[in-house]
Amino acid sequence: MAENCVTVIEIGSSKLSCMIAERGVNNTFNVKAKASVDYAGFLEGDFIEKAYLDDAVMTLFSQITSIYKKKIKKVYVGVPAEFSKVVTSTCQLNFKNRHTISQKDIDTIFAKVSEQRYAEDMDIISVNTISYALDETKNIQNPLKQKCYFISCELSLVLAQSSFIKLFNKIWSKLGIEQVEYLSEPLAEGIFILEEEERERNCIVIDVGARSTSVAFIKGNAMTNLTSFSMGGSYITSDLTEACGIGYPEARNLKKQIVLSLKGDKDDTYELPTLGGKILKLPLNFVNEAVCYRIGLIASTVNECIRVFAKEYVPYYPIYLCGAGLTKIKGGKDYLAKCLNRNVSYGRPPIPGMDKPELASILGLVNSALRN
């Protein structure tokens, strides 16, 4: 495989995706191949049908290699929020005399923090700087070549479940993959969709997937906190099947029609073609209320996550929404914003023609892999 190409794997809560890409002109991506397969997924930090996970990954690789035709030696794997956590740590170096900070000093700090064990069943996959302090001067982003008597660094460490890494390492070994690197999916996504000046303060990135929602607090090139819960877009689909008495495939088709901003009369309906060729007429307001109910539950859980995990509850933290769970529902973002009582923007990848919030995660992984 060409050295400037990367192969990334996104482990979604209902779908596995692979993309092979290289850096294009003006920081765009040249996508060489992409593929995805549906699988049983995960829930509450565990795979639903673990015995069939190998088959799903092998099907994905069969698809991607049929397109790419070259041997894949290394893969970058995104670790979802449900299999990871963030811890912060502070490390300080003291000097006898006024000292000019070098890269060696920074490396020493990172090595000291990385040597520690933060959880018995978790491995460090990422160490990033939140900010530095030189003597009494705080919130310094680049301390190199500056002089001080001591340097203090607040660091963010992303930990991944050891069982997750062992599980996938076995699969890559079966597939003959020689090298594997695990990346934090929410961190890669957040850094990619947020411009550098936005990341100078805390931003919140909400990714609503099929069965899982993550809430990441991004500052600089790091996450200050991360949490997730098992609820997402497929819950809305299930609610519609139950409320409307229709099958899951019909509910998915119905979801594509829904416009939450519509306030219909009592006779207004959504018309849903069925497999038997009939047209079902479903009351517009009733259907919208079923969807809004679930979005309200997602919003209340997100609000609780912000309350518990933000170091301070700041109502003007910028919030960005990614993932296919809500962004594909017309009016979904606006109703979420109403429930949160906050402004919510789409988290869009800064790539022309690929600026869809549902692509933020996999393109963020591509960006991180290419930077590595």
Q: What is the mean pLDDT of the chain?
A: 93
pLDDT in tens, 255-286: 999 999 998 888 999 999 887 788 999 999 99
| 107 — pLDDT class (breaks 50, 70, 90) | very high
pTM of the model: 0.93
pLDDT in tens, 154-183: 999 999 999 999 999 999 999 999 999 999
Angle at 144 between CA 143 and CA 148, to 5 degrees: 60
d(CA 38, CA 346): 25
Residues whose CB falls within 8 Å of the CB of residue 139, separated by 6 or more in sequence, listed in order: 131, 133
Angle between helices 53-68 and 162-174 (to 10 degrees): 50
- Given the structure tokens 């990714």, which residue do they identify? 207
pLDDT in tens, 361-371: 999 999 999 99
Residues whose CB falls within 8 Å of the CB of residue 134, separated by 6 or more in sequence, listed in order: 101, 140, 143, 146, 148, 150, 151, 152
DSSP structure class, residue 244: H
| 69 — pLDDT class (breaks 50, 70, 90) | confident
Q: Which residues of 143-178 are buried (b: 16+ CB within 10 A; e: fewer)?
A: beeeebeebbbbbbbbbbbeebbeebeebbeebebe
Check pLDDT > 90 for residue 84.
yes
| 312 — pLDDT class (breaks 50, 70, 90) | low
Tell me if residue 308 falls in helix, strand or coil: helix
| 2 — pLDDT class (breaks 50, 70, 90) | very low
Element (H, E) at 340: helix 332-340
Q: Are 243 and 75 in contact (CB under 8 A)?
A: no
Strand ranges across the sheet with 122-134? 84-100, 147-161, 122-134, 137-140
